[in-house]
């Protein structure tokens, strides 16, 4: 299929190549694409000093190099943390999820969790997703002028995740707020305990160094006890059962995975949806192309992958070198922090032609929005794909026009990329 290249403004207001990529404030203007392009071109494995007192790290910014590092878990370990934050051994062990483990321990836990998130199982949820979308989108269209992130993108993921894992619909809003407090712990719009603004030392043993972690722990424990007494036939009940080998999750493994689901299972999908709506609202070609093919699987499969590349909501993950390693002539030493910048890789001109254009028909779109190429590829990727596709399909069925009516606002975070406010006007079909 011939690619049709349509100019679409990349969502950023940040063109300074000299920004501090560790500073959360940098990302309030949008992802600093020009800074990362400069790094990819001039210094693709760059040593970065941390302004907050951290010990510094190597920043890997090209697509192929990210795949290389991500595919070598024995050399680039996740078992000393996946964020830039420095932690004591005690803090790390208390907060550790399967994301912060290496094979074979990671493999054991992942196989336990994978039971509830297989592609085959997730595909059966499509009718439920459309049902939830109907309620959300009918209300949004009636309102006409809305914050698309708040009224659309924020509502679906947690409601859907709740259906999958078995939490009540009426708890969804509270769970979203607690999840935001954890994973968006650098943005004062989502928490009173901003990680780099106030003293959070007393919460250092809780997920994301947030007091919301204790609330989620307690909630998860109550849900666990309900299912220990009675199998409810949902994914959470499944996860609490022994696997074929008789292995069970420990209490801490379950609590930390539950907290991770509530935080990461909501935010990244939300911001992928918000980014997709932003692209549609600002490009009539994209709008018309997708609206004219509501049930064309080939069009929507390709478009969904491009939306995900475009959104690339997880900015980076950290690894720690377990031995010396050379990359682009730079000597990485054992014990050094190494960060792989997924968003940068998804805009690498060496891999993607015209990466700053959203191309619905993009061929061979092997993006890394889900951390592809390593053992930590996103467990919820099939659910995220399905949700993004369905919500866009159902939205376009209901409207004849989408207009952005005020500037968008971005999440204050160097870890999660997202449009937190997107004012739009919907004209019903």
Condensed to tens digits (0 to 9), the pLDDT of residues 85-125 reads 888 888 888 888 888 999 998 998 888 888 889 999 999 99
pLDDT of residue 3: 43
Q: 11 vs 28, 116, 281, 398, 429, CA distance in Å?
A: 12, 34, 12, 25, 27
Closest to 415 in 3D by CA, of 354, 340, 362, 323:
340
Consecutive H or E run containing 128:
helix 126-143
In the chain, the percentage of residues whose pLDDT exceeds 90 is 66
Residue with tokens 């891999």: 351
Q: Which CATH number fits domain 24-428: 1.20.1050.10, 1.10.630.10, 3.40.50.300, 3.30.360.10?
A: 1.10.630.10
pLDDT of residue 413: 96
Closest to 328 in 3D by CA, of 19, 58, 38:
58
Give per-residue pLDDT as tens, 156-177: 998 998 888 889 989 999 999 9
Pairing of strands 145-147, 316-321: unpaired
Angle at CA 352, nearest 5°, toward 76 and 78?
Answer: 15
Structure tokens at 238: 């499944």
Consecutive H or E run containing 409:
strand 409-410
Torsion of CA 134, 138, 141, 142, to 10 degrees: -170
* Structural domain spans, the chain: 24-428
CA atoms within 13 A on the CB side of 177: 7
Give per-residue pLDDT as tens, 38-82: 999 999 999 999 877 789 999 999 999 999 999 999 999 999 999
pLDDT of residue 259: 87
Structure tokens at 411: 């999440």
In the chain, the percentage of residues whose pLDDT exceeds 70 is 97
Consecutive H or E run containing 290:
helix 284-291
Q: 191 vs 199, 361, 367, CA distance in Å?
A: 13, 39, 31
Is it the case that residue 231 has pLDDT exceeding 90?
no
Return the bridge partners of 47, or none.
Answer: 58
Give per-residue pLDDT as tens, 307-349: 999 999 999 999 999 999 999 999 999 999 999 999 999 999 9
pLDDT of residue 14: 59
């Amino acid at each position: 299929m011939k690619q049709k290249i349509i100019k679409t403004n990349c969502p950023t207001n940040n063109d300074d190549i000299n920004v501090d990529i560790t500073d959360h404030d940098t990302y309030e203007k949008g992802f600093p694409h020009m800074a990362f392009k400069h790094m990819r071109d001039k210094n693709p494995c760059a040593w970065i000093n941390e302004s907050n007192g951290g010990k510094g790290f190597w920043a890997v910014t090209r697509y192929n190099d990210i795949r290389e590092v991500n595919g070598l878990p024995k050399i680039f370990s996740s078992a000393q943390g996946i964020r830039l934050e420095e932690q004591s051994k005690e803090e790390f062990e208390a907060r550790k999820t399967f994301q912060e483990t290496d094979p074979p321990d990671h493999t054991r836990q992942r196989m336990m969790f994978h039971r509830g998130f297989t592609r085959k199982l997730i595909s059966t949820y499509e009718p439920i997703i459309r049902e939830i979308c109907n309620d959300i989108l009918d209300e949004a269209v009636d309102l006409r002028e809305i914050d698309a992130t708040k009224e659309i993108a924020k509502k679906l993921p947690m409601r859907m995740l709740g259906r999958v894992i078995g939490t009540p619909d009426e708890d969804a809003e509270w769970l979203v707020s607690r999840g935001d407090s954890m994973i968006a712990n650098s943005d004062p719009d989502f928490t009173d305990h901003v990680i780099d603004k106030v003293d959070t030392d007393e919460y250092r043993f809780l997920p994301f160094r947030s007091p919301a972690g204790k609330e989620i722990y307690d909630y998860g424990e109550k849900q666990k006890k309900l299912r220990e007494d009675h199998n409810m036939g949902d994914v959470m009940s499944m996860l609490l059962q022994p696997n074929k080998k008789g292995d069970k999750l420990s209490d801490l493994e379950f609590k930390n995975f539950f907290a991770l689901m509530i935080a990461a299972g909501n935010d990244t999908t939300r911001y992928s949806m918000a980014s997709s709506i932003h692209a549609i609202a600002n490009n009539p070609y994209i709008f018309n192309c997708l609206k004219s093919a509501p049930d064309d699987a080939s069009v929507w499969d390709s478009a969904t992958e491009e939306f995900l590349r475009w959104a690339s909501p997880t900015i980076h993950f950290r690894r720690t070198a377990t031995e010396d390693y050379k990359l682009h002539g730079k000597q990485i030493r054992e014990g050094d922090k190494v960060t792989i910048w997924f968003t940068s890789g998804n805009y690498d001109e060496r891999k993607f032609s015209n990466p700053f254009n959203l191309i619905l028909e993009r061929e061979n779109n092997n993006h890394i929005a889900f951390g592809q190429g390593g053992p930590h590829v996103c467990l919820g990727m099939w659910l995220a794909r399905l949700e993004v596709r369905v919500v866009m399909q159902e939205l376009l069925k209901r409207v004849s026009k989408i207009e952005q009516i005020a500037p968008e606002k971005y999440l204050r975070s160097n870890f999660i990329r997202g449009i937190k406010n997107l004012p739009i006007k919907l004209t019903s079909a």
